[in-house]
Chain A
Amino acid sequence: MESSLVKCSKCQAFLFPEPFNTGQFSPCPSCGAPLAVEVFPAILQTPSAAAAEPLLVEGQSSCFYHPAKKASIVCQGCGRFLCGLCDLELNGRHVCPACLEAGQKKSKYKDLENTRVLWDHIALAAAVFPLLCFWGTIIGAPYALYLILRYRKAPCSITGRSSVAFVAAGVLAVLELAGWVAGLIYWIVKT
């Protein structure tokens, strides 16, 4: 946990708040590096851990994971009763740790995704780069078509780019294969 002291990004010396939010650069008191610091009210907040209330009355609904703690909410994924410790809020939804983990594995929660493979760009590269070496298109074009068919429903970039790369890769791969077929027919007819 970081303290509310803002440090210089070069020498890690603590900075005094006089020049903050002025929009002007002021030198770091330690190393002299010109710094412009913009602070926001969150810097003064101290995060508080969720508390779980103990069971007061026998027979009261208890947490599924902590039987000695009072249930405060229902998991919207599996319906289990949860205490304040087990309640995880994600975009207004309250879920338990197990549902969150399962959702992350199945890419159910977009906000938890931290990596994506750009299959559309791989397919485009498989169709374009072999053009540098003529014979490479024999392998590159079918591989690009395989990637398109295999991953056509896979999500592209999270930032919402369209799947133009998939279309371009498909058109190019089909043209390359058509070229090979035409060349083969021409060679057979000629010989």
Chain B
Amino acid sequence: MKKCSYCGKEYPDTATVCDIDAHPLVEPNAPAPPRREYKRLPGRGMQVEGNRWLAVSRALCTVWLARDHLLLVSRTGYTERYKRFYFRDIQAIIIRKTATAFVWNIVLAIFALASVLLAVEVSDLVARLILSFLGGLFAFLVLLSLWRGPTCVTHIRTAVQTEQLAAWNRMRAARKGLGLIRPQLLEAQGEFSMPDLRARLEDQILRQTQPSAAQTL
């Protein structure tokens, strides 16, 4: 037996909302709902809008986990934009490993090494201090990047869109985040056996590619 959270009217277990005031129904002995609706998932990243050379705007992206959806928050200045991906709609998550961190680590390591070598060479004390500070800063950035791990680009796919998750731009964050949402996704969509899913996907691919092949012939 369930009760309306607003008026207290009793309903059978199959009902979800109150007929009178449309408030959600709750189990009488159910535990209290969590204080916060959203839980922050690991990772944060910048999403650049514009072209490759000129950024029109930069948004700081984070991913949040809700009861039935994933919330993508992009913060530009003092405005937050939200995109919701409901668990029942998520079809795939695609992670592509990139070499961005590797390239940056090499560049920063070269800068760090050059700064240290110059600091050893120069005789002026102020210049030596500045170069040592710069060398230390570059070395710290290399260590930070190494600690955060390799970079990646993550996309989330639904029936109508494929969206980049800029917050999951590191392998560690992407894997951890995926591990956290997987149980909720499977709960919303139902358990499945991978060989069966693979066979059905292959079947669909054949069906979708055959007409186009026939057209080209």
Interface residues of A (CB under 8 A from B): 1-10, 14, 16-18, 20-21, 25, 33-45, 47, 76, 91-93, 111, 113-119, 121-122, 125, 157-160
A158 to B80, CA, bound (A): 9
Shortest CB distance B5–A (Å): 12
Q: Are B200 and A44 in contact (CB under 8 A)?
A: yes
A91 to B189, CA, bound (A): 17
For chain B, the count of residues having a C-beta within 8 Å of the partner chain is: 54
Q: How many A-B residue pairs have CB under 8 A?
A: 149
Interface residues of B (CB under 8 A from A): 16-17, 22, 24, 35-38, 40, 64, 71, 73, 75, 78-84, 88-97, 153, 155, 157-162, 178, 182, 185-186, 189-190, 192, 194, 197-198, 200-202, 204-205, 208
Contact with A4, one of B35, B79, B194, B205 (Cβ below 8 angstroms):
B205
Nearest to B207 among chain A residues (CB) is A4
Contact with A157, one of B80, B89, B200 (Cβ below 8 angstroms):
B80
Given contacts A8-B94, A35-B96, A37-B94, 10 further A-B contacts (CB under 8 A): A5-B208, A6-B94, A20-B197, A39-B92, A40-B90, A41-B189, A42-B90, A45-B159, A92-B17, A159-B64
Contact with B38, one of A8, A9, A42, A159 (Cβ below 8 angstroms):
A159
Given A6-B94, A36-B95, A41-B190: A118 touches B78 (CB 8 Å cut-off): yes
Contact with A9, one of B37, B153, B158, B194 (Cβ below 8 angstroms):
B153
Shortest CB distance A84–B (Å): 19
Name the prevailing secondary structure of the B interface residues.
mixed
Shortest CB distance A133–B (Å): 20
Contact with B78, one of A34, A36, A117 (Cβ below 8 angstroms):
A117
Q: In the complex, what residues of A have CB within 8 A of residue B82's CB?
A: 113-116, 158
Nearest to A46 among chain B residues (CB) is B159
Q: Are A42 and B88 in contact (CB under 8 A)?
A: yes
A-B contact pairs, 23 of them (CB 8 A): A1-B159, A4-B205, A5-B205, A5-B208, A9-B96, A9-B155, A9-B162, A17-B202, A20-B194, A25-B97, A37-B92, A40-B186, A41-B190, A44-B197, A44-B204, A111-B84, A114-B81, A115-B79, A115-B82, A117-B79, A159-B71, A160-B37, A160-B38
